[in-house]
A and B are shown apart, each in its own frame.
Chain A
Amino acid sequence: MSESLIAITMPKWGLAMKEGAILQWLKNEGDEVKKGETLVEIETDKVVNEMESPEDGKLLKKCIETDIRVPVGSLIAVYGNESISDEEIEKFISEFNENFVVEDDEAAGEANKYEKIMLGDIEINFSNIGEEKEKNILFIHGFGGDLNNWMFNQEELSKDYNTFAIDLPGHGQSSKNVTDGSLKNMAKIINDFCSKNNISKINLVGHSYGAGIAIQAACDFKDLIESLTLISPIGLGKEIDDSYLEDFITSESRRDLKPVLEKLYANSEIITRDMVNEVLSYKRIDGVENSLKIMKDQISKSNTQHNELKDQLNALEIPVSIIWGKNDNIIPSNHTEKLNEKISIQIIENCGHMAHTEYASKVNEIIKSTN
């Protein structure tokens, strides 16, 4: 097999993804493509998103038509240099396809599916990928989210790290009991989670409310936390769009919830009916609405945040990166002002509250550089 040929395959975005289809090619055969440039638009059961080129190279051949569903890992394109003959490309493709085995759900799929752990009377659902790696990363989602929010990050970073993503209490498939929902108590859950998994050092990646929890954990458990990557964190300023939190809690139908979720993104077209349905099925579980109200009360009232974490964050002696979408509708990106100059700040253009979804590769690079 020619070493100068590179196989570009259908990515796996989240544990649940089994298939994807190309909606649109954003590059043509013959184009030089830089790593990080958008290559194709891919549709899964859950989401439509752009896939960025994983490598530099010349797009020699598109291997599948648009709108055809193929399993994760299938060959979608071949990169290489111009000197390679068509025969060689064809041979490369046929060899790839001969050796390609669709991941068996029952075996591989189930093996790295969700795990559960009891912390006192609270059951925590989590996923752990990359166990053999040395450095640990823990992803903490935001208010109303779950570990699947990291579908574009965890799998990718598991190539270099032992990655954990948890469902916070009151979220996903964890217990719906959130006690008082305070950052202190949630930070303690993070510490307990690490102890129970025998983790002595960990890098935290937190989003929004989860980023607030990460800051709190770094302050309360200094020996445990090695670094922080914070995406649109709470606690660094007063302003917050309360109506987002309130509407998130009270919206009962797909029609009501969709515009609420659209606030999260700069490009709201990313919201599919399936995404809305997933959030709705979570919200419809007994006890969730009440938990969300409790947590919301810990976050803000009348468009004013309760938690002030800036001083504590400035006092930390570990590496800290902050990532913020310039178009964040929920918490404004100017909260990055007056931070300790050791803290790395990245404001991303055309990006909303969900930088880790909208600009996944960029966020992944920043996470790597922080650790």
Chain B
Amino acid sequence: MSVKSYRDAINEALLQEMKKDENVVVMGEDVAGGAGTNGEQDAWGGVLGVTKGLLGHYGRERVIDTPITETAILGMASGAALTGLRPVAELMFVDFMGVCFDQILNQTAKFRYMFGGKAVTPVTIRTMYGGGLRAASQHSQCLYPMFTHVPGIKVVVPSCAYDAKGLLIQSIRDDDPVIYMEHKNLYDVTQEVPDESYTIPFGEANFTREGKDITFIGMGQTVGICNKVADKLKSEGKSATVLDLRTLSPLDEDSVLEAAEETGKVVIVDESYPRCNMATDLSALICQESFSSLKAPIKMVTPPHTPVPFSPPLEDLYLPSEEKVYNAAKEIL
């Protein structure tokens, strides 16, 4: 056990799984960096350094720098998974899914079903998402609802370093295709993380706070916001339950309802666009299954229905914040 960042936890998971299983290969744009140059090899280790150092251990045969060609990357990863490798492909920013969504929507996610249950596609697609880095509309989106919408793929949104490692190892070992989404703002968040390999099963949401006055439901980056607001409310004498969904598909519906029923007051914090997102989906679930336990309207804290702005003051206004979540809570407390 030692203190590790979210970034290091992901890196360690990759290293350990590559060591354990020689079928695990990593591929993507600049996952090592420096391919074909006369300069430094492993120059980048991923655009934010998440895969740094893998090249030194496993060489270019298993740490594959690709051209900037997202369709071919995802197609190659899925085809390799279908034929015996266990690839971890990196889609640098989830926004780039725009040029290669077919590979997930119509290919990878559907192989097993279309082929009558005979296909096994153990591919993991790692991708970076989320706002806060002043990266503007094409590098800041929070697109997990799009994947959650598609049957046949699993969607993982780790909120902390401990979960990042355990969920990534589970993703790699899982025989179904997984999209594993890393929030850019979380890379430097640290936590005690076991040095050993471990897994966290999919479909088990995590209660990060327990309380009796109000329930926050978060996912990925928004879990940290919920925790902070819960702690602030605690100092004001109100106790809050916080549920971290951990995986959006499969979704731990039981825990969502358990969390909602625990307090009867629910605030869902979701960084994705407000129409047809996780917040609306969870609200519908809670209303349908636990309506009688609700003591107040469900609050959804999401961005407005606009692209992610570039200008810092605008982006700050756009994103869910502690203040917005706190205010939403106060409205129903």
| Contact A69–B234 (Cβ < 8 Å) | yes
Most chain B beta carbons < 10 A, residue from A114, A176, A253: A253
A273 beta carbon closer than 8 Å to chain B: yes
| Contact B197–A285 (Cβ < 8 Å) | yes
Task: A86 to B49: give the CA distance in the assembly, Å.
Answer: 62
| Contact A284–B200 (Cβ < 8 Å) | yes
- Residue of B whose beta carbon sits closest to that of A277: B206
Given contacts A253-B204, A254-B204, contact A284 B166 (CB under 8 A): yes
Task: A67 to B235: give the CA distance in the assembly, Å.
Answer: 9
- Residue of B whose beta carbon sits closest to that of A283: B198
| Contact A287–B237 (Cβ < 8 Å) | no
B322 beta carbon closer than 8 Å to chain A: no
Given contacts A67-B234, A69-B235, contact A287 B210 (CB under 8 A): no
- Give residues of chain A (244-299) contacting chain B, Cβ–Cβ below 8 Å: 252-255, 272-274, 277, 281, 284-287
Query: How many residues from B make CB contacts under 8 Å with A?
Result: 19
| Contact B197–A67 (Cβ < 8 Å) | no
With a cutoff of 8 Å between Cβ atoms, the chain A residues found around residue B237 in the complex are 65, 67-68
Given contacts A67-B239, A68-B237, A273-B207, contact A253 B201 (CB under 8 A): yes
Task: A70 to B237: give the CA distance in the assembly, Å.
Answer: 12
Query: How many residues from A make CB contacts under 8 Å with B?
Result: 21
| Contact B201–A285 (Cβ < 8 Å) | no
Task: A254 to B199: give the CA distance in the assembly, Å.
Answer: 14
| Contact A285–B235 (Cβ < 8 Å) | no
Partner of B197, one of A273, A277, A286: A286
Partner of B198, one of A67, A253, A285: A285
With a cutoff of 8 Å between Cβ atoms, the chain A residues found around residue B239 in the complex are 67
With a cutoff of 8 Å between Cβ atoms, the chain B residues found around residue A285 in the complex are 194, 196-198
Given contacts A65-B237, A67-B237, A176-B196, contact A273 B254 (CB under 8 A): no
A346 beta carbon closer than 8 Å to chain B: no
- Residue of B whose beta carbon sits closest to that of A68: B237
- Residue of A whose beta carbon sits closest to that of B192: A16
Task: A273 to B255: give the CA distance in the assembly, Å.
Answer: 12
A329 beta carbon closer than 8 Å to chain B: no
| Contact A287–B196 (Cβ < 8 Å) | yes
SS of B interface (majority): loop
| Contact B234–A286 (Cβ < 8 Å) | no
- Residue of B whose beta carbon sits closest to that of A285: B198
Most chain B beta carbons < 10 A, residue from A65, A114, A255: A255
Task: A114 to B195: give the CA distance in the assembly, Å.
Answer: 15
Task: A284 to B194: give the CA distance in the assembly, Å.
Answer: 11
With a cutoff of 8 Å between Cβ atoms, the chain B residues found around residue A277 in the complex are 206-207
| Contact A173–B206 (Cβ < 8 Å) | no
- Give residues of chain B (167-220) contacting chain A, Cβ–Cβ below 8 Å: 194, 196-201, 204, 206-207, 210
| Contact A255–B254 (Cβ < 8 Å) | yes
CB of B47 to closest CB in A, whole Å: 30
CB of B14 to closest CB in A, whole Å: 15
With a cutoff of 8 Å between Cβ atoms, the chain B residues found around residue A254 in the complex are 204
Partner of B235, one of A68, A114, A252: A68
- Give residues of chain B (144-172) contacting chain A, Cβ–Cβ below 8 Å: 162, 166
| Contact A252–B201 (Cβ < 8 Å) | yes
B114 beta carbon closer than 8 Å to chain A: no
Task: A252 to B170: give the CA distance in the assembly, Å.
Answer: 13
B99 beta carbon closer than 8 Å to chain A: no
Given contacts A68-B235, A252-B201, contact A173 B210 (CB under 8 A): no
- Residue of B whose beta carbon sits closest to that of A287: B196
With a cutoff of 8 Å between Cβ atoms, the chain B residues found around residue A21 in the complex are 234
Most chain B beta carbons < 10 A, residue from A173, A176, A255, A284: A284
Given contacts A65-B237, A277-B206, contact A284 B198 (CB under 8 A): yes
Task: A285 to B237: give the CA distance in the assembly, Å.
Answer: 37
CB of A114 to closest CB in B, whole Å: 8
With a cutoff of 8 Å between Cβ atoms, the chain A residues found around residue B197 in the complex are 285-286
With a cutoff of 8 Å between Cβ atoms, the chain A residues found around residue B198 in the complex are 281, 284-286
- Residue of A whose beta carbon sits closest to that of B201: A252
Task: A242 to B205: give the CA distance in the assembly, Å.
Answer: 29
CB of A303 to closest CB in B, whole Å: 29
| Contact A272–B234 (Cβ < 8 Å) | no
Task: A318 to B262: give the CA distance in the assembly, Å.
Answer: 52
Task: A293 to B204: give the CA distance in the assembly, Å.
Answer: 24
Task: A163 to B210: give the CA distance in the assembly, Å.
Answer: 33
With a cutoff of 8 Å between Cβ atoms, the chain A residues found around residue B196 in the complex are 176, 285-287
CB of B228 to closest CB in A, whole Å: 14
With a cutoff of 8 Å between Cβ atoms, the chain A residues found around residue B207 in the complex are 273-274, 277
With a cutoff of 8 Å between Cβ atoms, the chain B residues found around residue A284 in the complex are 166, 198-201
Most chain A beta carbons < 10 A, residue from B166, B204, B254: B204
Task: A277 to B210: give the CA distance in the assembly, Å.
Answer: 13
- Give residues of chain A (133-176) contacting chain B, Cβ–Cβ below 8 Å: 173, 176
8 contacts between A and B (CB under 8 A): A21-B234, A67-B234, A67-B239, A68-B237, A69-B234, A255-B254, A277-B206, A281-B166
- Name A's B-contacting residues (CB within 8 A): 21, 65, 67-69, 114, 173, 176, 252-255, 272-274, 277, 281, 284-287
Q: List the 6 closest A-B pairs by CB distance, nearest first.
A: A286-B197, A285-B198, A284-B198, A273-B207, A285-B196, A284-B199
- Additional A-B contact list (16), CB under 8 Å, known A69-B235, A252-B201: A67-B234, A67-B237, A67-B239, A69-B234, A253-B204, A255-B254, A274-B207, A277-B206, A281-B198, A284-B166, A284-B201, A285-B194, A285-B198, A286-B196, A286-B197, A287-B196
